[in-house]
Amino acid sequence: SQQGEEDPQALSIQEGENATMNCSYKTSINNLQWYRQNSGRGLVHLILIRSNEREKHSGRLRVTLDTSKKSSSLLITASRAADTASYFCATDNQAGTALIFGKGTTLSVSS
């Protein structure tokens, strides 16, 4: 079963615009991660935010975490065509040893 649910399922924007994706989850977590997957490829880790953190930045990425609402958001600023990919949030499982992924948000950035 999948813990996280991303929203929206698909997002289309122009280059230079910001893209925001949301993730909701069901049970308490130790940390939440975001991954990117280019079409037909493996996943690449983007950022990890711990349950005691509220916001984290990495380059053009900004992640927020609201444990009271069991939700997280990923903001990509000044998007580029190369950002076109699927983005997944992942939370640790009950044992804290593996990841449970959401269904993902497909982002299309056109030039």
Partner 1 sequence: EAEVAQSPRYKITEKSQAVAFWCDPISGHATLYWYRQILGQGPELLVQFQDESVVDDSQLPKDRFSAERLKGVDSTLKIQPAELGDSAMYLCASSLRSSGGEQFFGPGTRLTVL
Q: Does 88 bind partner 1 (CB under 8 A)?
A: yes
76/89 with CB nearer partner 1: 89
Least distance between partner 1 and beta carbon 1 (Å): 9
Nearest CA-CA partner of 10 in 82, 81, 89, 104? 104
The region of 55-63, 66-74, 75-83, 99-107 touching partner 1 under the rule CB under 8 A is 99-107
Q: Does 100 bind partner 1 (CB under 8 A)?
A: yes
**Contact (Cβ atoms closer than 8 angstroms) between residue 24 and residue 81:** no
Q: How far apart are the first and last CA of the chain?
A: 37
Nearest CA-CA partner of 20 in 30, 7, 32? 7
Question: What's the residue count for the chain?
Answer: 111
Structure tokens at 19: 């893209």
How many chain residues interact with partner 1 (CB under 8 A)?
Answer: 27
**Contact (Cβ atoms closer than 8 angstroms) between residue 16 and residue 82:** no
Q: Does 58 bind partner 1 (CB under 8 A)?
A: no
Q: Does 30 bind partner 1 (CB under 8 A)?
A: yes
The binding site for partner 1 (CB under 8 A) comprises: 2, 4, 30-31, 33, 35, 40-45, 48, 88, 90, 92-93, 95-104
